[in-house]
Chain A
Amino acid sequence: MSGNAAIARGAYEAGVTVGTGYPGTPSTEILENLARYAPEVYCEWSPNEKVAFEVAAGASLGGARSIVTMKHVGLNVAADPLMTLSYITVEGGLVACVADDPGMHSSQNEQDTRNYARFARVPLFEPSDSQEAKDFMKLAMEISEKYKTPVILRSTTRVSHSRSLVAQEERRAPGTVGLVKNPSRFVPIPVWGRPMRQRLEERLVLLKKEAEASPANRIEWRDRKLGIITSSIAYQYVREVWPEASVLKLGFSYPFPDALINQFASGIERLLVVEELDDILEQHVKSLGYAAAGRKFVPGIGELSIDRLRASRAKLEGCEMPQDEPSPFSQDLPPRPPVLCPGCPHRGVFYALGKHDVVVTGDIGCYSLGAFKPLDRMDSILCMGAGISMAHGLEKAGEPRKVVGIVGDSTFFHSGITGLLDIGYNRGRSTIIVLDNRTTAMTGHQDHPGTGRTLSGEPTKALSIEEFGRACGIDRVLTQDPYDLDATLEAISGELEADAPSLIVFRAPCPLKERKRVGMRRVVNPELCKGCKLCLKLACPAIEYQGELPVINPIFCAGCGLCEQVCPAGAISTEGKP
Chain B
Amino acid sequence: MLSNNFTKTAFLTRFSLRKNWLKLTIWAVAMAGLFTAIAAKFTSIYSNQAAIDSVMETLKSPAMTALFGKMPSGVSTSADIFAAEMTVFMAIMAVVMNYSIVIKNLRGEEETGITEIIRAHAVGKLSLLGATMIEAIILNLGIGLLYSLGLSVANLSGTDLNGNFLLGLGLGFAGLMFSSIAALMSQIVDNARSSTILSYLVFGIMYIARMTTDISDPKQTWWVPFGWVEKFSTYKNNDWTPVLLMIIFTIIAFALAFFINSKRDVNAGLIATRPGKKQASVFLNGTFSLFLKLHKTSIIVWTIGLLILGFTYGSIFSDIGDIIKTNPALEQMLGKSAIHSANVAIIKQFISMLMIIFAVLSLIPGIQTIHDLKTSENKGYLEMVHAKPVGRSKLYLNAITVATITTLLVLAATLYGLYLGGVYSMKDPLPLKTFAKAYAAYISPTLIMLGLTAAIIGTAPKLSILNYLYLTAALIIQYFGKLLKLPDWPEKLTPFGYIAQVPVKTADPETIIWQLAIAVILFGIGYIGYTRRDLK
Is B one of A's binding partners?
A: no
A interface list, Cβ under 8 A from B: none
B interface list, Cβ under 8 A from A: none
